[in-house]
């Protein structure tokens, strides 16, 4: 034994087996001691946690599992005992209740001793010496198991820390990948919309160019009048016609233009067709003013030739036409400003997660961006003046776009789209989109928000085929919900719920 005394002999299975054999022989040597040897069936509880049983068990055969109950009521196995192990030692030495419970895993044979009996046998020959050595072996084994558990826990903690760091890196990478997908989808949407946006910007820009040309001609004519003409008529009628020109914003329909031309031909016959065309755009109030103003009527009759009469009327309506062109430039410029502002708001990069987002403004910006596709769609928006939720405006705008584009596709760009925003009783905002399309086939409702699922053909595909999947991801990122259903009256309904706080 390399000079080691029996008291310091390392714990071994052979040593434990020898001690158990000695103890078994001692307890089977007399009828009185043999009564202490008990047999238990699988599933029997030898000791129960937190109970005071005042017994010590020496396991001769079989296995016993030790259980401990956690604070939340879960029962966990913390150790396993077999031949040579002693159970109840902690309660015996501390003189308190059982710290754990012990349940038989199979048939178990054990020596059961009360604390008083255990005290007696510790000093009895020949059992006492073997019991003390077995106690020492049990304590040593349990200490070794505790140290082993600590080492395993340290290794496990190191492994968990490594995996946690890897998981954190993976989550960051997934978030970056998700953001790239969202941005790619947004760019794909903008790519699809760019032609329509160009058309929407080109129309007011062209109107501005036309109106500036007309303004140049009108101002040149006005300066000539200031130099060569009698300005009595202009001084009397000009301010009123100027105000009417600034107020007038709607071009009459073709049928109305024809009716207006007929009335002008009756009021001022034999004028050039080009002048009748200009006069037909004047509103009814201006026409009544021309007809009822005695100075205008008198001056018109005094004109000697039809050319003079035409020149006279052109000079009279000049303030109206000039003001009308000024208004057209203002409206066209404002339209371009709104388109650019809407595009800027729509496509701006991510912001703070909990920044206040005006939902109505976001939907109005999206409607502006989609105006070219919505030309033949009647859109009705019902919303409070301002309704804010915490989130990212650019990402939520992408949700509105995906749903509106899907509605346009299903209705083939003709129909009605109703959008409603309302606050619910549980402090949420409910955003509802309803279209008059054919609705959603029942078989796809459960697949609608899955990645790469689409019902569009190749020619009408939009974005990357991730629109509704990304929309669901964005809504859930904002702690909200999104679902789709069919309306009883026909068409599809998409509902988004977002928390106000």
Q: 172-217 pLDDT, tens per residue?
A: 888 888 777 777 776 666 666 676 677 677 778 887 888 888 888 8
Q: Alpha-carbon distance 121 to 131, whole Å?
A: 8
C-beta contacts of 334-337 below 8 A and 24+ residues apart: 335/204, 336/201, 336/204, 336/205
Tell which residue, 311, 319, 294, 331, has the closest CA to residue 244.
319
- The Cα 80–Cα 75 span in angstroms is 14
Is the pLDDT at 421 greater than 90? The verdict is yes
Of 97, 157, 130, the residue nearest 29 (C-alpha): 130
Conformational region of residue 418, where left means phi above 0, alpha means psi within -120 to 50, and beta covers everything else: beta
End-to-end CA distance of the chain: 74
Strand-strand pairing, 415-423 and 377-382: parallel
Lowest-pLDDT range of 39-43, 142-146, 165-169, 350-354 = 350-354
Q: Does 280 or 71 have the greater pLDDT score?
A: 71
Q: Do 394 and 190 meet the contact criterion of CB atoms below 8 Å apart?
A: no
Instruction: Mention every residue, 6+ apart, whose C-beta is less than 8 A from residue 204.
Output: 331, 332, 333, 335, 336
CA dist 184 and 294 (Å) reads: 68
Q: Matching CATH topology for 6-151 and 352-499?
A: no
The one-character DSSP state at 7 is: G
Q: Virtual CA dihedral for 221, 225, 228, 233, nearest 10 degrees?
A: 150
CB contact at 8 A, 100 and 64: no
- Residue 351 three-state SS: coil
Which residues lie across from 464 on neighbouring strands?
none
Domain boundaries, the chain: 6-151, 229-340, 352-499
Distance between CA 393 and CA 389 in Å, rounded? 9
Helix (H, G, I), strand (E, B) or coil at 412: coil
For the residues of 257-308, what is the DSSP string, one character each? Answer: HHHHHHHHHHHSTT--HHHHHHHHTS-HHHHHHHHH-HHHHHHHHH--SHHH
* pLDDT score recorded for residue 257: 78
Query: What pLDDT is stored for residue 212 in this prediction?
Result: 87
**Residue keyed to tokens 């068409």:** 491
Query: Of residues 459 and 185, which shows the higher confidence score?
Result: 185
Percent over 70 (pLDDT), the chain: 87
* 62 backbone φψ class: left, alpha, beta (φ>0; ψ -120 to 50): left
**DSSP string computed for 36-65:** TEEEE-TT-EEE-TT----EEEEEEES-EE
In this predicted structure, the answer to whether residue 250 has a pLDDT above a threshold of 70 is: no
Q: Determine if the pTM surpasses 0.85.
A: no
pLDDT given at position 1: 38
State CA 480 to chain mean position distance. 6
β-bridge mates for residue 492, sequence order: 486
Picking from 301-310, 440-449, 462-471, which range would have the lowest pLDDT averaged per residue? 462-471
Assess whether the previous peptide bond of 126 is cis (omega < 30° from 0).
Answer: yes
What's the mean pLDDT when you consider all of the chain?
81
Neighbouring residues of 359: CB distance < 8 A, sequence distance ≥ 6: 383, 387, 388, 389, 396, 421, 429, 431, 498
Helix, strand, or coil here: 114? strand
> Can you tell me the distance from the alpha carbon of 81 to that of 87, in angstroms, rounded to the nearest whole number?
8
Look at residue 479 in the predicted model and tell me its pLDDT. Answer: 92
Which helix (DSSP H) or strand (DSSP E) does residue 483 occupy?
A: strand 481-486
**pLDDT tens profile 348-380:** 655 556 788 899 988 988 888 888 788 889 999
Q: How many CB atoms lie within 10 A of CB 15?
A: 16
Q: What is the mean pLDDT of residues 144-173?
A: 88
**Percent composition of the chain: helix, strand, coil (DSSP 3-state, to 5):** 55, 15, 25
* pLDDT at residue 458, rounded to an integer: 40
CATH of 352-499, one of 3.90.550.10, 3.30.565.10, 3.40.50.300, 1.10.10.10: 3.30.565.10
Distances (CA, A) of 68 to 75, 139, 254: 6, 19, 90
Greatest Cα pair distance in the chain: 154
What is the CATH architecture of 6-151?
Answer: Sandwich (2.60)
Q: Which region holds residue 303: left if phi is over 0, alpha if psi is between -120 and 50, else beta?
A: beta
* Residue 266 structure tokens: 């009756």
């Amino acid at each position: 034994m390399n000079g080691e005394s029996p008291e310091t002999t390392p714990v071994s299975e052979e040593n434990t087996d020898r001690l158990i054999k000695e103890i078994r022989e001692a307890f089977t040597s007399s009828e009185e001691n043999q009564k202490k040897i008990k047999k238990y069936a699988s599933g029997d509880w030898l000791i129960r946690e937190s109970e005071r049983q005042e017994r010590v068990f020496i396991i001769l055969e079989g296995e016993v599992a030790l259980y401990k109950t956690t604070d939340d009521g879960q029962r966990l196995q913390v150790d396993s005992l077999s031949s040579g192990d002693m159970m109840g030692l902690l309660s015996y030495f501390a003189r308190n209740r059982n710290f754990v419970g012990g349940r038989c895993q199979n048939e178990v044979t054990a020596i059961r001793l009360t604390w008083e009996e255990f005290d007696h046998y510790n000093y009895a020959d020949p059992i006492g010496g073997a019991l003390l050595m077995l106690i020492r072996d049990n304590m040593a084994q349990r200490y070794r198991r505790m140290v082993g558990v600590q080492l395993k826990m340290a290794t496990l903690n190191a492994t968990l820390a490594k995996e946690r760091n890897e998981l954190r890196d993976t989550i960051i990478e997934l978030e970056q990948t998700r953001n790239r997908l969202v941005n790619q989808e947004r760019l794909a949407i903008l790519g699809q919309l760019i032609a329509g946006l160009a058309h929407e910007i080109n129309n007011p820009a062209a109107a501005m160019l036309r109106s500036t040309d007309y303004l140049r001609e009108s101002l040149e004519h006005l300066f000539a009048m200031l130099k060569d003409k009698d300005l009595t008529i202009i001084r009397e009628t000009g301010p009123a016609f100027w105000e009417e020109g600034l107020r007038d914003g709607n071009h009459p329909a073709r049928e109305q233009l024809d009716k207006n031309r007929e009335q002008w031909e009756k009021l001022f016959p034999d004028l050039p067709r080009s002048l009748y065309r200009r006069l037909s755009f004047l509103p009814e109030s201006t026409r009544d003013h021309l007809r009822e103003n005695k100075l205008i009527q008198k001056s018109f009759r005094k004109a000697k030739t039809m050319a003079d009469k035409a020149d006279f009327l052109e000079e009279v309506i000049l303030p109206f036409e000039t003001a009308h062109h000024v208004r057209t430039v203002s409206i066209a410029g404002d339209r371009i400003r709104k388109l650019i502002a809407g595009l800027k708001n729509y496509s701006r990069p991510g912001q703070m997660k909990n920044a206040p987002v005006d939902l109505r403004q976001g939907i109005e910006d999206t409607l502006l961006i989609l105006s070219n596709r919505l030309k033949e769609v009647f859109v009705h928006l019902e919303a409070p003046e301002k309704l804010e939720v915490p989130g990212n405006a650019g990402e939520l705008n992408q949700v509105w776009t995906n749903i509106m584009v899907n509605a346009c596709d299903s209705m083939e760009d003709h129909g009605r789209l109703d959008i409603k925003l309302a606050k619910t009783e549980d402090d949420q905002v409910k955003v509802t989109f309803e279209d008059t399309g054919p609705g959603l086939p029942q078989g796809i409702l459960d697949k609608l928000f899955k990645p790469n699922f689409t019902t569009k053909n190749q020619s009408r595909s939009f974005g990357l085929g991730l629109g509704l999947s990304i929309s669901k991801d964005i809504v859930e990122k904002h702690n909200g919900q999104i679902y789709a259903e069919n309306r009883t009256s026909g068409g599809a309904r998409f509902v988004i719920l977002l928390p106000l706080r």
